[in-house]
Structures are given as C-alpha cells and as structure tokens.
C-alpha cells in the first residue's frame, strides 16, 4: 500500500501515542468493556420502583446512578382497541398499550418483577424477557392465571435493547395480539444524552376481515400461519404516530429512536424518509454502524437509531418493504419545526413536464372481488370507512389534508373541480384521469391511474373527501357509482 505520511522515529512514536489517545477518547463516555462475571458481582445500592411508560414515550435516562434493586409492576390487560377507523380488535397487552410498557434499567440492576393478570381477562399469560439469563427468559416462572400475580427476580448482565413478549401457547397468537415490548439495559454511566427519545415498535396483525373492514375483527390463525398480514403497523394501530399523534422535534436536535419489531413473522426494513441515521446500534447491541439509510430489524429484535435533524419538514417513518407502509399501515411521522437551511435542502429550483411512461391512463391490477351482501351505511359510517380507504389508496398523492402536491397531484381541499361535478369525480376514480385540468385556477397536467375499488369503496372514499377540508358535503352512494360504471 502506498505510504501517505512519513515520520522519523521520535515523531512516529508521538503520532502513535496521539492516535491511541484519540481512539480511547473519541467515543466520549463509552464504557470500558467487561464480561458477565463483572456485572454479576456489581453490588446494588437502594431500592426503587421502575418508571414505566406507554409508547411513544420512554422513562427518564438512567444516567450515572448506581445499580439498584428495581421493582417492576406490570399488569396484563385484554382490551378492545381500534386498529384503523371503524375497525376494532381485541388486543392482549402488557400495561394496556401495544407495544407494552417501556422498561429502563442499567447493568447490574437486580429486578424484582411483578406480573399481574387482570381478573377480567380470559386467559393465562406469562413473559419472556430477552434481557434475562435464565430458563425461558422468565417465562417458566411467570405463567399467571386471571386474577393472580407472579413474582420472579433476575439480574441484568448485558447492556443493550431487548424485546420481551408473552410465551404462553400458542406463542405466535399471543404475540400477534400485541403482547410484546422493549426493555433497555443501559451501560455503566448511561447512554450519551440526546434531545429527544422515542419508543416505536413494529408488529404484523392478522384479521378475519380484510384491511379496513368495519366492526370487531377476530384473529385469523390461517393468515398468521401463511404470514399474510392485513396490517403492518407501528405502535399497534394505523396512524399511531402520524397526523396529530406525530413525533416532534426542532431543527438542531438529536433524536434517538428505540425501535423494536414484535413480529410475530415479518422482518422490518426501518427507514426515515429524508433523514440518514448518524448511528445505529445494530440489533440493539454494542456494535455501532454510521451513516445508515435503512436498517434491518428481525422479528423479536431491535435497533437504536440516532440522527440530528438539520432542516424542518415532516419526515416519514416507514418499513421500506414499501407496500406495507402505504397499504398496510407501517407509516409514521416526525414533524420538525425551525428555520430552513437552503444550503442543506433548497426545495424546488426548476420544474417542467416529464412523462416517460406516456400520457395513457394506467390501470391498477384487478382481481376477482367476492360479492358481499352489504347493509346501507349511515353517513358517519361512510365517512369512517372512506377515511380508512383514503389512508391506503389516496394519501401518498393527495396528502393527509387533501393539499395535493404542487404541479403533480391536484388538491382535493376546497376543490372547485371536484365540487362542480361528482359524476366526473366518480369517473376519475373508476377509469383514471389524464391530460390538463384546471383546479382552483391552476393548471395541472398529470396522470391518475384507475383504482381497483368496489362501488361501496368508491362511494365511501368520495363521501369522505366531499365531507372534508371545506368541500361541499356531497354524499356519494354505491348506486351513483354503479350508474357511472355503465
């Protein structure tokens, strides 16, 4: 190899010494490496009850506190929640949330774990913590019937971010119903401080009904065995960290996300659109990768990602197995406020028309739809259903508030084009739309593909659009759609 620098012997020694010093101190408070025997012998000082938090929040950092006797009180709750607007699901939870309560410890802590099964629950449960060194990760010691409590103890010996989950048979079903969470074991001296910390966990859900089907949807074991989920979501439901529930930060802040994957089946390709991870603790352990675009998180695994936000905007969190994001719910938002920095990101500097695929209307793939006997929906039911359809079919182009994308996709909010003729709007959804149109005084020349939606689905989504964002509240019926199909 070509030598780039030449040193005489005294200077070479000095250079090597400086390099060694730089290596030692370049990571700041990075802990000295120890083995399990060292952590096992750490003496605890005092006792406290662990602070537990529901996602997306995390407990206060451990900092440089000594190892302690830490009491964890965890209650299991089987409860109804909403997967997406109008779609209910019976979740099985640790602490009343999906994912379960975040547990924050440090190496050397002695944990006294109290697992309580609410008396209104129907099933026995237990807990397997991947941070536990012992049979079943605690599962064999913690199986607990409704109305009872189990207590077991363990010492945390390995720093890292670990998954916990229920391990009662059938294990996959308990996990698929939401029984998973994260336990963080900080190193001695704690993790380096950051401005914002968030708790996010991906999971795949399997329901008897298809995506967005209304009412209480039971778990579908056949879909789970085939690994064909209807929903892939962050924090237990569609939109859990989007819209009004979005994560927030300010320009210049450093964000740390404790990211887990409960599974039970799918891997996660975690990515934040418009950001690069400065650091990734690979699989939640000691090894750190830098300048990462997308990190792979196995089912039952985790990662810690950190990045500084340099410009304002809404940054989209996704599983980059991208149909999961835009069609099954694996999408979140980080809203960053602050001053723009045109040197880092300029925004649009030039625009024009470019149609490499031609101006023909594109078609969405069509498949056979089973005929379903439907009961006429009330207006609120139509709007709820339409909102769910909009979130998976229209959101990416027309945006969350119907604002569209300038010069690419027309606005639906206060749209004179839309409000003037509902039959034309129906035709656009059924057959697609291409060529120049004028919306709210601005010309747009783009292509909208036809949508493979049923008469009911088209009626619902258009009724939702007409009922939102200052539009004229037209109610579109399945009969109106059927007439336009002819």
Residue 196 C-beta-side C-alpha neighbours within 13 Å? 19
Task: Mark whether 118 and 169 lie in a shared domain.
Answer: yes
- Domain membership of residue 3 (yes or no) is no
- Domain membership of residue 344 (yes or no) is no
Q: What DSSP string describes 224-241? A: HHHT--SEEEETTSTTTT
- Domain membership of residue 351 (yes or no) is no
- Three-state secondary structure call for residue 334: strand
Report the residue count for the chain. 486
Q: Is 130 annotated as a binding residue?
A: yes
Say what the pLDDT of residue 5 is.
Answer: 39
Task: Mark whether 40 and 176 lie in a shared domain.
Answer: yes
Q: Is 27 annotated as a binding residue?
A: no
Q: Is 166 annotated as a binding residue?
A: yes
Q: Is 179 annotated as a binding residue?
A: yes
Task: Mark whether 89 and 181 lie in a shared domain.
Answer: yes
Of 190, 206, 234, the one marking the end of a domain is 190
Structural domain containing residue 94:
36-190
Say what the pLDDT of residue 130 is.
Answer: 98
Say what the pLDDT of residue 426 is.
Answer: 94
Task: Mark whether 56 and 136 lie in a shared domain.
Answer: yes
> Whose CA is closest to 198, among 237, 159, 251, 253?
253
Of 190, 217, 241, the one marking the end of a domain is 190
Q: Which residues contact 219 (CB under 8 A, 6 or more apart)?
A: 90, 173, 176, 177, 206, 207, 208
Task: Mark whether 184 and 53 lie in a shared domain.
Answer: yes
Task: Mark whether 49 and 177 lie in a shared domain.
Answer: yes
pLDDT tens, N- to C-terminus, the chain (486 residues) = 434 334 444 444 444 444 444 443 334 344 456 777 888 888 999 999 999 999 999 999 999 999 999 999 999 999 999 999 889 999 999 999 999 999 999 999 999 999 999 999 999 999 999 999 999 999 999 999 999 999 999 999 999 999 999 999 999 999 999 999 999 999 999 999 999 999 999 999 999 999 989 999 999 999 999 999 999 999 999 999 998 999 999 999 999 999 999 999 999 999 999 999 999 999 999 999 999 999 999 999 999 999 999 999 999 999 999 999 989 999 999 999 999 999 999 987 765 555 555 545 556 666 555 545 567 899 999 999 999 888 878 877 888 889 987 767 889 999 999 999 999 999 999 988 888 899 999 888 777 888 889 999 999 999 999 999 999 999 999 999 999 998
- Domain membership of residue 8 (yes or no) is no
Look up the CATH number of the domain holding residue 229. 2.60.40.420
Look up the CATH number of the domain holding residue 461. 1.10.760.10
- Domain membership of residue 18 (yes or no) is no
> How many structural domains does the chain have?
3
Task: Mark whether 184 and 41 lie in a shared domain.
Answer: yes
Task: Mark whether 114 and 61 lie in a shared domain.
Answer: yes
Residue 260 has φ and ψ, to the nearest 5°, of -120, 165
- Domain membership of residue 249 (yes or no) is yes
- Domain membership of residue 55 (yes or no) is yes
Task: Mark whether 40 and 180 lie in a shared domain.
Answer: yes
Say what the pLDDT of residue 366 is.
Answer: 63
- Using CA atoms, how far apart are residues 385 and 215, in angstroms rounded to an integer? 11
Q: Is 364 annotated as a binding residue?
A: no
Task: Mark whether 225 and 160 lie in a shared domain.
Answer: no
Q: Is 165 annotated as a binding residue?
A: yes
Say what the pLDDT of residue 443 is.
Answer: 86
Say what the pLDDT of residue 398 is.
Answer: 86
- Using CA atoms, how far apart are residues 284 and 12, in angstroms rounded to an integer? 38
- Domain membership of residue 257 (yes or no) is yes
- Using CA atoms, how far apart are residues 447 and 444, in angstroms rounded to an integer? 10
Q: Which helix (H) or strand (E) holds 164?
A: strand 160-165
Q: With contact defined as beta carbons under 8 Å apart, do 434 and 360 qualify?
A: yes
Task: Mark whether 394 and 317 lie in a shared domain.
Answer: no
Task: Mark whether 207 and 311 lie in a shared domain.
Answer: yes
């Amino acid at each position: 190899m070509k030598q780039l620098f030449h040193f005489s012997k005294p200077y070479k020694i000095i250079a090597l010494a400086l390099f060694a010093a730089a290596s030692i101190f370049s990571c700041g408070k990075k802990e000295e490496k120890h083995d399990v025997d060292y952590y096992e012998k750490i003496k605890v000082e005092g006792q406290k009850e662990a602070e537990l938090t529901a996602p997306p929040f995390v407990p206060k950092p451990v900092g440089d506190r000594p190892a302690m006797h830490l009491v964890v009180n965890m209650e299991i709750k089987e409860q109804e929640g909403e997967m997406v607007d109008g779609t209910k699901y019976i979740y099985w939870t640790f602490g009343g949330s999906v994912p379960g309560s975040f547990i924050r410890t440090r190496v050397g802590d002695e944990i006294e774990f109290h697992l309580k099964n609410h008396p209104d629950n129907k099933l026995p449960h237990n807990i397997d913590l991947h941070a536990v060194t012992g049979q079943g990760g605690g599962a064999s010691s913690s199986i607990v019937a409704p109305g009872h409590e189990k207590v077991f103890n363990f010492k945390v010996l390995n720093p890292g971010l670990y998954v916990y989950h229920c391990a009662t048979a059938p294990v996959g079903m308990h996990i698929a119903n939401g029984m998973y969470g994260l336990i963080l074991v900080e190193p001695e001296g704690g993790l380096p401080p950051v401005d914002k910390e968030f708790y996010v966990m991906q999971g795949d859900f399997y329901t008897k009904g298809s995506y967005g089907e209304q009412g209480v949807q039971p778990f579908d074991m056949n879909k789970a065995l085939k690994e064909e989920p209807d929903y892939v979501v962050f924090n237990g439901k569609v939109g859990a960290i989007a819209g009004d529930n979005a994560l927030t930060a300010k320009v210049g802040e450093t964000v740390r996300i404790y990211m887990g994957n409960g599974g039970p089946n799918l891997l996660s390709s975690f990515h934040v659109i418009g950001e690069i991870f400065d650091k990734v603790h690979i699989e939640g352990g000691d090894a750190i990768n830098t300048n990462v675009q997308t990190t792979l998180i196995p089912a039952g695994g985790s990662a810690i990602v950190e990045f500084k936000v340099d410009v304002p905007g809404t940054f989209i969190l996704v599983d980059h197995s991208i149909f999961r994001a835009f069609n099954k719910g694996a999408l979140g938002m980080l809203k960053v406020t602050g001053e723009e920095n045109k040197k880092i990101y300029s925004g649009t500097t030039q625009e024009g028309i470019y149609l490499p695929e031609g101006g023909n209307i594109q078609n969405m793939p069509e498949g056979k739809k089973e005929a379903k006997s439907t009961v006429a929906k009330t207006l609120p039911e139509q709007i709820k259903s339409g909102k769910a359809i909009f979130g998976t079919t229209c959101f990416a182009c027309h945006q969350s508030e119907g604002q569209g994308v300038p010069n690419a996709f027309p606005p639906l909010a206060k749209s004179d084009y839309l409000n003037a003729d509902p039959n034309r709007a129906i035709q656009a959804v059924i057959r697609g739309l291409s060529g120049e149109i004028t919306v709210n005084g601005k010309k747009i020349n783009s292509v909208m593909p036809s949508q493979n939606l049923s008469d009911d689905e088209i009626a619902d989504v258009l009724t939702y659009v007409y009922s939102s964002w200052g539009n004229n509240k037209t109610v579109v019926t399945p009969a109106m759609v059927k007439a336009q199909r002819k």
